[in-house]
Structure 1
Amino acid sequence: MKINGKRVLITGGSSGIGLALARVLLLRGAHVAISGRRPDVVAEAVRTLHPIGAAVHGIAADVATDEGRAATLELALSALGGLDMLVNNAGGVRAGRLETIDETELLAMIDVGLVAPILLTRAALPALRASGDAVVVNVSSGIALVGAPFYATYAAVKAGLAHFGEALRRELKGEGVHVLTVYPGGTDTPMMRTNRAGAELGFSREPASAVAEAIVEAIETDRHEVVRGGEARLQMIALNRADPSAVDERFAGLKPALEDAVRDHSAL
């Protein structure tokens, strides 16, 4: 896909990977709408993006709700005049032992990270089909490929999003709508501020700009997926498929330190 002139909606676009992706796409000549729940944060993000490209619009709405999804899509279509790219990036996390996490937090992760992308994509498909050269980008997580203790529900959400994308890609094959799945590793974003786990626990971090550049390269070359984390991540994925018990043992040795480091990790 050629980025120049494409009309893009990025959910969760006011910070982190979404904001970094908006910057890269604007530099490539795209017209971009970013959405987020907090009006002040969305407004500030738009202000920082304006010097890069005037073709940027902010939408304050919560895609975890029916009303927020409808408003997001309606405002994006009105501002952009159509849609060529939907980036399902909005998400939330609450780490900890499953039995200690409040049910409302579990449901919040599911609603924003899985239900919202499915329903928003469904609603956006007529506009994407009308484009004739469209793409849906689903931002999953490396945890969808190698489940980590204390992230059981988050892993389920992100794995569900990944398989939703894989199945939808095959469903839409040859119909003018491609689907790309992104598996970021540890990324330096506001979502990670309350996570105290470091590289020694498998949470090394890269800049959001690096993830954004990789996503745009994958869009331009019609790839199916982006897996971040380098060779070490690829080796862990391969080991998890070939000998999952070995990965179980690795995590067993890290559990006490990891549980302590992520017990306050919350971004909902």
Structure 2
Amino acid sequence: MELSDKIILLTGASRGIGREIALAFAQKGGKLVLAGRNQEAPDETRAGVERAGGEAIVVAGDVTDAGWRQSVIEKTEQTYGGLDILVNNAGVVSAGWLESLSEADVEQQLQINLMAPILLTRAALPALRQSSGAAIVNISSIFGLLGMPFYATYGATKAGIAHFGEAMRRELVDQGIHVMTVYPGATDTPMMETAGLGDKAGFAYDTPESVAQALLEGLEAEQLTVVRADDNSQSMLDANQQNPRQLDEQIREMKPKLEEAVANHRSM
């Protein structure tokens, strides 16, 4: 897929992986619509996009709001004349024993990580169908491939968005819209500042720049998935397929350290 001069709608564009995705598209001359919950942080990303050679507007709002979802599609078409790529990147996390999570945290993860991207995709489809080279990119997680304790709700949303993408790929296979799912591992972003998965649980942190670059390379090659797994994560993914009971025992042994590592992991 040729990525030069594409029109991209990107949620969660304020920081971390989203910000780096925006900057990577900007280097291809992209025209970006940057979505975030407030105006100030996406404005900083917009300035970076313009310095990198792209164009950008900011449309702040709540991805869970139906009116905002429709308005951001309309604003994209009004500003740039269409839409080529939708990147569903916005996400939140609240880790811990399931019964210790508030209902509000459970519901918000479901709404932002799963319901909102499904409904935004639904709203974007008419515009995407008008593009000669359209794509939908859903940002899942390694925890969407590997169920881990203390991330039951988060993992459910990330597995859900992955299966949504797979189903939509097959639904749209004859309509000129490519669908790709990206599975980042633990990544050095503000979302991970309250987690201790590196020092305490042995996961090697990726960089948001590397994830963004892999995303663009995946689109250019029309890959179906992009998996960013460190050696520890990959060995666990392999074990989960080959001998899940053995992995259960491995995780049982590491669970006390994992519980300590994620005790304060919350980014909502």
Q: Which residue of 2 aligns with 1:62?
A: 62
Q: Which residue of 2 aligns with 1:150?
A: 150
Rounded to whole Å, the distance in 1 between the matches of 2:255 and 2:231 is 23
Q: Which residue of 1 aligns with 2:140?
A: 140
The answer on whether the counterparts of 2:201 and 2:254 sit within 8 Å (CA) in structure 1 is yes
Rounded to whole Å, the distance in 2 between the matches of 1:96 and 1:248 is 18
- The residue correspondences of 1:6-25 to structure 2 (distance < 5 A) are 6-25=6-25
The answer on whether the counterparts of 2:10 and 2:33 sit within 8 Å (CA) in structure 1 is yes
The DSSP-based 3-state class of the residue aligned with 1:173 is coil
In structure 2, relative to structure 1, the CA distance for the partners of 1:185 and 1:178 (3 Å cut) is same
Question: Could you tell me the TM-score, scaled by structure 1's length?
Answer: 0.96
> How far apart are 1:234 and its partner, in Å?
3.0
Is 1:229 the counterpart of 2:234? The answer is no
Q: Which residue of 1 aligns with 2:115?
A: 115
Is 1:164 the counterpart of 2:164? The answer is yes
Rounded to whole Å, the distance in 1 between the matches of 2:79 and 2:190 is 27
The DSSP-based 3-state class of the residue aligned with 1:214 is helix
Q: Which amino acid in 2 is paired with 1:177?
A: I
Rounded to whole Å, the distance in 2 between the matches of 1:203 and 1:234 is 10
Rounded to whole Å, the distance in 2 between the matches of 1:55 and 1:49 is 6
Structure 2: unaligned runs, 5 residues or longer: none
Rounded to whole Å, the distance in 1 between the matches of 2:77 and 2:267 is 29
Rounded to whole Å, the distance in 2 between the matches of 1:177 and 1:54 is 23
Q: Which amino acid in 1 is paired with 2:233?
A: R
Q: Which amino acid in 2 is paired with 1:105?
A: D
- The residue correspondences of 1:155-194 to structure 2 (distance < 5 A) are 155-194=155-194
Question: Could you tell me the TM-score, scaled by structure 2's length?
Answer: 0.96
Farther-moved stretch of structure 1 (200-209 vs 132-141): 200-209
Q: Which amino acid in 1 is paired with 2:126?
A: P
Q: Which amino acid in 1 is paired with 2:17?
A: I
Rounded to whole Å, the distance in 2 between the matches of 1:43 and 1:22 is 12
The answer on whether the counterparts of 1:33 and 1:58 sit within 8 Å (CA) in structure 2 is yes
- The residue correspondences of 1:91-106 to structure 2 (distance < 5 A) are 91-106=91-106
The answer on whether the counterparts of 1:162 and 1:181 sit within 8 Å (CA) in structure 2 is yes
The answer on whether the counterparts of 1:186 and 1:206 sit within 8 Å (CA) in structure 2 is yes
The answer on whether the counterparts of 1:33 and 1:80 sit within 8 Å (CA) in structure 2 is no
Rounded to whole Å, the distance in 1 between the matches of 2:49 and 2:21 is 11
In structure 2, relative to structure 1, the CA distance for the partners of 1:132 and 1:221 (3 Å cut) is same
Q: Which amino acid in 1 is paired with 2:160?
A: G
Rounded to whole Å, the distance in 1 between the matches of 2:124 and 2:91 is 18
Rounded to whole Å, the distance in 2 between the matches of 1:173 and 1:202 is 39
Rounded to whole Å, the distance in 1 between the matches of 2:224 and 2:154 is 22
Equivalent pairs counted in the alignment come to: 268
The DSSP-based 3-state class of the residue aligned with 1:9 is strand
Farther-moved stretch of structure 1 (40-49 vs 79-88): 40-49
Rounded to whole Å, the distance in 1 between the matches of 2:213 and 2:109 is 26
Q: Which residue of 2 aligns with 1:5?
A: 5
In structure 2, relative to structure 1, the CA distance for the partners of 1:107 and 1:9 (3 Å cut) is same
Rounded to whole Å, the distance in 2 between the matches of 1:197 and 1:214 is 22
Q: Which residue of 2 aligns with 1:126?
A: 126
Rounded to whole Å, the distance in 2 between the matches of 1:19 and 1:153 is 25
Rounded to whole Å, the distance in 2 between the matches of 1:231 and 1:264 is 25
The DSSP-based 3-state class of the residue aligned with 1:60 is coil
Q: Which residue of 2 aligns with 1:195?
A: 195
> How far apart are 1:147 and its partner, in Å?
1.1
> Percent identity of the aligned residues?
44
The answer on whether the counterparts of 2:34 and 2:56 sit within 8 Å (CA) in structure 1 is yes
Farther-moved stretch of structure 1 (67-76 vs 132-141): 67-76
> How far apart are 1:185 and its partner, in Å?
0.3
Q: Which residue of 1 aligns with 2:79?
A: 79
Rounded to whole Å, the distance in 1 between the matches of 2:170 and 2:238 is 24
Q: Which residue of 2 aligns with 1:49?
A: 49
